[in-house]
């Protein structure tokens, strides 16, 4: 399809949404992007993006010109549930439902929702898209509630993407555990994805018009926590983390990416997190 025929709204022009929006603009798309920071509005505009100041609330979205923001063919929801919110399990779904109520009235029929592999618990082991999530964290439970809600709507075709740990740009994995001591589960595998691959997957979903599905977005390889975080700390000059010698693997999950590769005919740029 010709991507330039799409008007796309990105709720959350941050680490992922902003560089994605810039690429979409270069491909000829009209892109609306929201931020909660007024300081970013001019910079977004300079990049050819239509900027909007919008904040999601449990009652209704806060901001001017929300109707104009939602005048799009595809809406991408790319905001975290808020781990520090003690009532995230209730508040985040309410925020999304209040947004979607307006989006459907505006005529939006296609959606991409950025979820997370945290909808699975570590105890679930090896999982693919057919595995029913069993989240244990409040944010994971909130994401799973929103996923089910969005895919239940008859007039909105939503594709769910579940990225693993996010790396790329200014998100340096070596910083995450830098200098920490006595870290357990050093032999447990990690499920990561580089921003470059995540953006390319989203572009393929839009280009191929793949809506109504769920995709796991993780690299091909799953190195151990010990090897990955030690190597990343060394690479970027952070203090080396120290793992318990007998920390073992503990409970862990390994996320399959076979479905996204097959469905989108996608080959990962960064298939091995040790090369991030």
State the residue range of the domain holding 85.
3-169+192-223+254-275
Report if residue 239 sits inside a domain. Answer: no
pTM higher than the cut 0.85: yes
Burial of 274 (0-12, 13-18, 19+ CB in 10 A): middle
Report if residue 53 sits inside a domain. Answer: yes
* Confidence band for 3, pLDDT divided at 50, 70 and 90: low
Q: Return the higher-pLDDT residue of 2 and 208.
A: 208
Phi-psi region of 26 (alpha: psi -120 to 50; beta: other; left: phi over 0): alpha
Six-digit token string for 261 = 């590769």
**DSSP conformation letters of 81-105:** --TT-TTHHHHHHHHHHHHHHHHHH
CATH number (domain holding residue 62)? 3.40.50.720
Tens of pLDDT along 217-263? 999 999 999 999 999 999 999 999 999 988 777 889 999 999 999 99
- The alpha carbons of the chain give a radius of gyration, in whole angstroms, of 19
Report if residue 149 sits inside a domain. Answer: yes
How many domains does the chain contain in total?
1
């Amino acid at each position: 399809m010709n991507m330039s025929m799409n008007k796309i709204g990105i709720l959350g022009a941050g680490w992922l949404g902003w560089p994605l929006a810039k690429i979409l603009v270069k491909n000829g798309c009209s892109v609306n992007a929201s931020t909660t920071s007024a300081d970013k509005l001019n910079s977004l505009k300079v990049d050819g993006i239509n900027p909007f100041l919008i904040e999601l609330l449990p009652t209704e979205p806060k901001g001017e010109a929300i109707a104009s923001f939602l005048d799009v063919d595809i809406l991408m929801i790319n905001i975290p549930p808020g781990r520090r919110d003690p009532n995230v399990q209730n508040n985040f779904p309410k925020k999304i439902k209040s947004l979607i109520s307006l989006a459907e009235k505006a005529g939006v029929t296609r959606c991409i929702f950025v979820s997370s592999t945290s909808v699975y618990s570590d105890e679930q082991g090896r999982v693919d898209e057919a595995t029913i999530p069993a989240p244990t964290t409040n944010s994971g439970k909130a994401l799973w509630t929103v996923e089910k809600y969005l895919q239940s709507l008859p007039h909105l075709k939503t594709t769910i993407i579940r990225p693993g740990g996010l790396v790329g740009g200014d998100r340096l994995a070596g910083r995450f555990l830098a200098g920490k001591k006595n870290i357990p589960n050093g032999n447990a595998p990690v499920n990561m994805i580089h921003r470059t691959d995540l953006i390319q997957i989203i572009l393929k979903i839009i280009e191929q018009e793949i809506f109504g599905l769920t995709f796991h977005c993780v690299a091909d390889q799953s190195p151990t926590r010990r090897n990955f975080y030690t190597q990343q700390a060394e690479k970027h000059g952070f203090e080396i983390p120290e793992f318990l010698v007998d920390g073992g693997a503990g409970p862990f999950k390994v996320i399959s990416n076979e479905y996204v590769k097959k469905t989108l005919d996608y080959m990962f740029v960064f298939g091995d997190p040790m090369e991030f």
